[in-house]
Chain A
Amino acid sequence: MLEHLERMVLLAGERRQHECKTMLDALNRVTACYRHLVITLGSTSDSQNLREELRKTRKKAQELAAANRTKLTALLKDKSISKEDRSEYERLWVLFTSSMELLDVDMKRSLEIGQDFPLQVPTRHLIQTGMSGSTTTVAARAMSVQNMKYEADSNIDTADLKELEAEIAQVVQMMEEMEMKVQVAPWAVEAKQEAGAELKSTVSVVRLQGDNPKHTSCCCCFGSFSGGWEWWCACRDSSVLGRGCDRG
């Protein structure tokens, strides 16, 4: 009977991990598409359609970000999960925050270039980079739809900018909150894939480490992600095991 229960718990754990990974994959895909769209801004491939694609993709990214954050923070706060599971969730957390950083940077760029290249102004010339095709299939991929539907007004290039500004502030705030609430030191995480793993067509996601890794994130330290690596140790004791302590 006990064995059966144990197995149920294991399966539930696996299912949770799988759900997390699927959601992260989706966020990763949308991030890549968004990056691709942002690169097109200001060039001769820029258009009102592109601006709408950017807006829609961005909204999708934010939905996925919120969902991922909720799920992962809940899991990381759960003190009952095993050390192995926790280290895996920490790895997923680093994947998540890396995506967010990229999104943050891309959103900021999209704002600045969007402001500098309003499409209705005849004196602002787009840069002739050699690109001439549309990005509609990229956006469709981000939205997981067959074809993009364009519904925006013809002034979306300027109309969207205020909202974008507000959303950037939201993302920044969210990332700051995450730093405060979630205790994961980014470099405590080990990647599963080794150098050159991208050359294998089916990547086997095998654990690189043998034994249980020692969790050594200080409970009073906050891993800070907004610029990348920054973190600040408020206390001098950096050898507390990652179970949380009274001070946390």
Chain B
Amino acid sequence: GGKRVRRQEEPCALCFQMERVIVSMQDPDMGMKMRNQRLLITVIPHAMTGNDIIEWLVQKYSITEEEALHMGNLIVRHGYIYPLKDPRTLILKPDETLYRFQFQSSFFYHSNFISLIFLSDKAIYLAKKNIRKQGELIDYEKQNYNHLHKRINHTWDFVLMQAREQLRAAKQRRRADRIVLECQEQAYWLVNRPPVSAPRRLSLYCEQYQLHDPIMRGCRPSNPWITDDTMYWSMNSDMVSVPAKLRVERWSFSFTELLSDTLGRREFMQYLEKEFSAENLCFWEACEDIRHGENSKITQKVNDVHTQFLAPGASRWVNIDSKTMEKTLQGIKNPHRFVLDDAQMHIYFLMKKDSYPRYLKSDLYKNMLAKAIVPQETKKSVFPFMRRQRRSSPSPALVP
């Protein structure tokens, strides 16, 4: 069993820390000293240099410059602060490069990336940019635009209507504020993750995950990085026969949690087989395989999916509405990585709304929860933010 990377979101403790730092920086007496940014005729307040930031961190937290640089880089990478001149380079430069705070410039409350609002928001942003730049979007922006246009085509009229109106609303602001808004929005989409904008929202999310966060609660039996005992990893590896209780609990947090855990997904498949709707999950998996798989195999895979799941009389026919089916069958004639997106999404939500809640109430899940284990702690875990002696493990790179 290998290392278990902890979800795609950041550990809660880290976000908490960063958020507190940002708020401290706003203190009128003890916070950051702001500078003005001068752009030809416009002056925009609230700018700070990379040097300013590092100096402040060093003083405030009594840390070394190296540590401050590291912390500062984390803060920039997470989008709390963004560079003004070179927005695509999300690093903190220890020089006169200017930065500014970003705060909830665009947002959504769904931590689930599949949320339609997230997609609409992004599409609206790109459409606005398209208008402002008169069609001159950068390559990857054009790609994103076209991809979104296919993916949420049914709501495209709304996207364009809203884009135009948002631009008109922005015109009501003075020029300096307009510039800030544009830069903020761009910075946000470059970081491209849900902003940790409100401590309350964060605290709700963190409350749920707090018991599950190995940094906050310690790992059981022990943190492998401290004790060199890899039991924690092997116990939580993909296909153990008896999983940890915390892990099984997480399956009830969201459908995504269940699906992204190999064991959870296998359990769910078992359940669906009992319900005679396993073809849904099989179809979903096949679509994922196409989305993330090799280019050269796409055509073959799409055809296989068609034969198995979509063609009339298919052995594992999936129940998609006729309009999506029609659109998909048409699209399959020119197969590409995303051609099954609509159909996949339909099946995803079918499972999420229908089978998933029933699975959580099922005996299969309840039994799994009952037999899941809570390992004994072998060593008191140390709160990681305190300084401690690090023992270096023998590096595999060392030549004997």
Contact = CB atoms under 8 A, between A and B. Distances in A.
A76 interface: no
Q: What size tier do the contact residues of chain B reach? A: 35 or more
A231 B116 contact: no
A91 interface: yes
Interface in B122-141: 127, 130-131, 134-135
B265 interface: no
A192 interface: yes
Q: What size tier do the contact residues of chain A reach? A: 35 or more
B178 to A, nearest CB: 9
Interface string A11-40: 000000000000001001101110110010
A73 interface: no
Contact of B166 (A36, A197, A217): A36
Contacts of B103: 42-43, 127, 129
B322 A112 contact: no
B177 A232 contact: no
Interface stretch (B148-156, B212-220, B360-368): B148-156
A113 B177 contact: no
Nearest to B201: A112
Interface string A171-204: 0000000000000011111111101111100010
B342 A187 contact: yes
B109 A105 contact: yes
Given A133-B176, A199-B135, A35 B104 contact: no
A185 B104 contact: no
A167 to B, nearest CB: 16
A233 B323 CA distance: 14
A191 B155 contact: yes
B162 A133 contact: no
B350 A137 contact: no
B67 to A, nearest CB: 24
Nearest to A33: B169
Interface of A: 25, 28-29, 31-33, 35-36, 39, 41-45, 91, 94-95, 98-99, 101-102, 105, 108-109, 112-113, 115-116, 125-133, 135, 137-138, 140-142, 185-193, 195-199, 203, 214, 216-218, 221, 224, 227-233, 236, 238-239
Given A125-B26, A127-B101, A193-B156, 15 more contacts: A28-B162, A31-B162, A31-B165, A39-B106, A105-B107, A109-B109, A125-B23, A125-B31, A128-B46, A186-B154, A188-B321, A193-B160, A198-B127, A228-B119, A230-B349
